[in-house]
Structure 1
């Protein structure tokens, strides 16, 4: 593991739909690599003094994404760390370009069934407040998949152990950095 962390020269950024495991896996990956961890949603909430849901309601998705882009740009300032982004961060073309230039992007991809189950545990997802959760996630997945596919690494995140996902990311990082 020391060799991998010695050759990392930029942050590792986890992208994907809400419920894919970005925060949980991100914390474990950071611990495994001995790196700091930042959850961009938490950082936004701390900076604004409001929850993501409140910010969405108050300013709308467009303004929220603009602020999110500025915050993410600060997070990829060259410090080597693991960053979990919000589900929509990578959808913004400017954010996606910035992340692919200044970080190693990892798309965590999970089935709609897994996403629906995980996001059903808490009621803090603004885009899932109305309508059928699985239908909304399916629509978002279809809309966002082309953008997520631009991530440098693609990892399936199923309903198995998070440790297995972490190990898959570590192996993919080693392969990616060996190129």
Structure 2
């Protein structure tokens, strides 16, 4: 979900283990020459999800080495992406309650394409969380976002 800390923790984990880090949204933007918000606005969310799937598969297929990828909050919910991600590596769901997510999104000030279309960001986040949770809960590991530390990931990766 937006505000869970995917990019923040992805960068920290990658640095901690000396691994490359890729933010899927940044990868898409770099390849398309437009922000995710622009793409969704210009081509529709459905077309963006097709692009997202294409780039996820390209990214996974382009590396034989270990890499940390932070995907967008909707990525696991479309095009069989969760299954693709689970087959490619370890999938971690950073679970957080609505208050935590909302607080982080408000503090970030980043443009969130699917949240900016409504007058009630909080309501939209709650709706998205309800729709997405069943997909997120298919992850290999479910971690409480507010309680994570690098030690948490040491324990996970120690089991691999």
Q: TM (normalized to structure 2)?
A: 0.92
Matched, 1:38 2:25: no
SS at match of 1:155: strand
Query: Which residue of structure 2 lines up, in the alignment, with residue 150 of structure 1?
Result: 138
Query: Which residue of structure 2 lines up, in the alignment, with residue 8 of structure 1?
Result: none
Aligned residues: 156
Distance 1:58 1:146, change over 3 A: same
Of residues 132, 141, 157, the one that matches 2:129 is 141
Q: TM (normalized to structure 1)?
A: 0.82
Q: Give the distance between the partners of 1:74 and 1:22, measured in 2 at CA.
A: 20
Q: Unpaired runs of 5+ in structure 2?
A: none
Q: Give the distance between the partners of 1:131 and 1:171, measured in 2 at CA.
A: 41
Contact map agreement 2:4 2:101 (CA 8 A) in 1: yes
Q: Give the distance between the partners of 1:73 and 1:170, measured in 2 at CA.
A: 27
- 1:109-153: CA deviation from partner (whole Å, max 9, x where unpaired): 111111111112224101111121221111111111110011111
- 1:41-69: CA deviation from partner (whole Å, max 9, x where unpaired): 10111111111110000011111011001
Contact map agreement 2:53 2:79 (CA 8 A) in 1: no
- 1:152-177: CA deviation from partner (whole Å, max 9, x where unpaired): 1111101x6xxx433212212323x2
Of residues 102, 105, 128, the one that matches 2:115 is 128
SS at match of 1:127: coil
SS at match of 1:86: coil
Q: Give the distance between the partners of 1:165 and 1:143, measured in 2 at CA.
A: 27
Q: Give the distance between the partners of 2:100 and 2:141, measured in 1 at CA.
A: 20
Contact map agreement 1:157 1:165 (CA 8 A) in 2: no
Aligned positions of 1:18-167 closer than 5 A:
18-77=2-61, 78-120=64-106, 121-129=108-116, 130-158=118-146, 164-167=148-151
Q: Give the distance between the partners of 2:7 and 2:72, measured in 1 at CA.
A: 9
